[in-house]
Structure formats: structure tokens, C-alpha cells
Amino acid sequence: MEFSGYNLKIGIIGGGQLGKMMTQEAKKMGFYVTILDPTPNSPAGQLADEQLVGGFHDRNKIKELVERCDVTTYDIEDIDAVALKELVEAGHLIHPSPQILEVIQDKWKQKEVLARSGIPIARYRKVEEGALAAAVEEFGFPVVQKACRGGYDGRGVFVIRTRDDTGRALKVESFLEEFVDIEKELAVMVARSAAGEIKCHPVVEMAFDEAANICDMVVAPAEVAQKIQDESRQIAVAVVESLGGAGIFGIEMFLDKAGNVLVNEIAPRPHNSGHYTIEACVTSQFEQHIRAIMGLPLGSTELLTPAVMINILGGEGYEGRAMFQGIRETLQIPGAALHLYGKRITRPFRKMGHVTVVDKEVENALEKAQRIKTLLRVVSEEA
């Protein structure tokens, strides 16, 4: 596709925070943006040129969006991929491709594709109906049960530690995965253009909120040996090459206590672990995604400064119209950049925003981020 500036239109399926930050970058570059989301005045819809109100499985609305736009992308995986495939067959551009989306939507298919491509992953096996107990015994305890579809932000994952736990296991199509003795959880953002150009952002470390099993903090760069950084990037590139397609991909990985790097999951879109790139890198993950899907040269991924990103999560015990406490105190901290997503309703552990702290020394950034975690809270008017 030949770049011709302002007359090009981008459609984004999904109006959440990822769609919002994609929209910000697309508008900087002069593109017209249309959002499809079921929530009127969604976070992305607040900034876009227009929003279509409709569900992610509403074929008519998906068709309307795609037919209006030169290129369509998405910020969520729970979409009607079959409808997207039909639209591609009719000549429309959708990135990453619906075929990739179909693989990502089913974690079992993800595992199979990664295994066939020789990507290092944890041992796994499908759970046949009524055969969970036998499969668990084969693996031994503990073992991780994962839903094939629908899991995100800690959902769809259950750790089976004893025989008694099997009675509380997930009651959906699932597979078992070896319980990895984790040293660190790592991530790499990898962008690929339609022409095959590939660029990686730095390797980062993710920390998780244990109560919600949701990403709580990201440290850039990851404090691991250069050998591990190089291996992680090589593996992440191999994953994206095995998929093909255009766009940015978040590759989540485990570093186990034996020093092995294993791929955990793939996101075919900007990812929570890449938010730090807005302040800390030459090219953010969101700008890189827009460049990739629009056929433009990929930007530099150089890390300009160490950074720590913390998620602003809805407080436990609060649900309703959101109120933010500690914003003034947070913004008094040097190097802190606040991002609120425009979500009016909070609930426990909902991602309401994030803060990125930059500093010449990663230890100082960590100290400031920990201070912000004690200052910044999301509560509700109704509590």
C-alpha cells in the first residue's frame, strides 16, 4: 500500500486503553481513525474521529468498519475471526492477519504452532473430557491447567497443587502445562512489517499481583545476563517469524531457575509490558504498530533511559464511578508520567491507568515506583 497521508483510514476493533494509545499515535501521523466498541464513548472513541457502537462478534458492524477503512487492526483477541477472514478474502487489509488471530485465540493451537516451529516451551498435553485426574497424575503436582480459549489477565489459569484441587479445576476445554520453577517473567515486544522487516524492543521483567495474577510492574531493562537478553530476543523473533503477518507482538516468557528461556504466551497487538516504551524508547510500541500495519519503515527501538511501569488497578472492595486518590502527590515525583485511560467505572483489579517512571538509574526508578504504589489509589464514589 502506498502511503498518501491524510486520506488513509485506520479501523481499530476494540476501544480500550490499547486502542486509545494506538489512536494517539495514528492521529499524530495524520490518519483518520474509526473505533468499533460496544461501549459508547469508549477510551479510544474519546480520541478517534468516530466510533461505531457494536460488539466484537457483530458481523454487520465488523463489516461496516472494515469496509470504511483502508487498514483494520484490533486491540483485543475476542473477535469473530471467521468474519475477518471472509473480509480479507474480499480484498480488505487486516493486520495482524485473521489466521494469526485464530491461532492466538486458542492457547492449545498456540502451543502446537510453537512446538512445530521448535520454539522452547513448557511440557504440555490436552485434557480429554473426563480424563483430568489421570492427566494430572501423569504430570505430578503441582501442574498448571489453562483454558484453551478466553483467558486473559489471570483468568483461565488454575494451579492444581493437590488431588483435592482437581474438584475445583476449570470446567472448560483445557490443557495441562508443566509447572515451571520461575526465576523471572520476561517479555519482548517484536514488530514485523508486511515486507518482513523486524525490530525488537528491549527485554523487560514483569512482576505480578499475586492476588489477581495480573501484571503489576514492568522493569526496563530486565536485570538479567546479556546472554539471557540475547537468547530472549532471538526466541521472540523466531516466534514472530513463525507466525508471519504485520504488526507488533508481545512475547511473554519464563526464565526458569536452571537458566532456560521458555515462551509462555503471545499477544498479537500492543501489550501491557510495552507501555514503558512511550517515555523510554525512541519509538513506542504503539507508534511501531501503526508503522508496521501501514507499510511504513519501522522506528528505532533504542532504550533512551531505564524505566519502571506500574499499573493503576481498581482497588479491592470498590466498584462504581471511579475516583483517583494521590494524583497530585504522584505528579510531584520527578520522572513520573501519568496515563489515565478514561474508564469511568472501576472494579477490583481493573486496569484504570499506568504510571511510567524514568531515571538514569533503574534502582532510583524502582524506588520512586514503589512510593507511587503507596500514594495512588482507585476507589469509587459509592463505597
DSSP conformation class of 298: P
123-178 shares its CATH topology with 182-380: no
Q: How many of the other CB atoms lie within 10 Å of CB of 139?
A: 18
What pLDDT shows up at residue 371?
A: 98
- Fold classification of 5-94 is Rossmann fold (3.40.50)
What pLDDT shows up at residue 309?
A: 99
Domain locations along the chain: 5-94, 123-178, 182-380
> When comparing pLDDT for 168 and 307, which is higher?
307
pLDDT, tens digit, for every residue of 334-369? 999 999 999 999 999 999 999 999 999 999 999 999
Q: How many of the other CB atoms lie within 10 Å of CB of 86?
A: 16
What pLDDT shows up at residue 3?
A: 54
> Is 173 exposed, middle or buried, given 0-12, 13-18 or 19+ CB atoms closer than 10 A?
middle
Whether the pLDDT of residue 272 is over 70: the answer is yes
What pLDDT shows up at residue 166?
A: 82
Work out the pLDDT band at 4, boundaries 50, 70, 90: low
CATH superfamily membership of 123-178: ATP-grasp fold, A domain (3.30.1490.20)
The answer to whether the bond into 142 is cis (omega within 30° of 0) is yes
Give the span between the Cα atoms of 247 and 241, in whole angstroms.
12
**What are the cell numbers at 227?**
546472554
Helix (H) or strand (E) holding 220: strand 214-220
Average pLDDT, the chain: 94
pLDDT, tens digit, for every residue of 107-135? 999 999 999 999 999 999 988 776 788 78
pLDDT, tens digit, for every residue of 14-24? 999 999 999 99
Q: Which residue has the cell 523473533?
A: 237
pLDDT, tens digit, for every residue of 83-109? 999 999 999 999 999 999 999 999 999
Domain 182-380 grouped into CATH 3.40.50.620: no
What pLDDT shows up at residue 170?
A: 87
Q: Which of 212, 213, 232 is nearest to 222 (CA)?
A: 232
290 in Cβ contact with 29 (< 8 Å): yes
pTM of the full predicted structure?
0.94
**What are the cell numbers at 239?**
516466534
Whether the pLDDT of residue 219 is over 70: the answer is yes
The dihedral region occupied by 140, where left means phi > 0, alpha psi between -120 and 50, and beta the remainder, is left
Mean pLDDT confidence for 59-64: 98
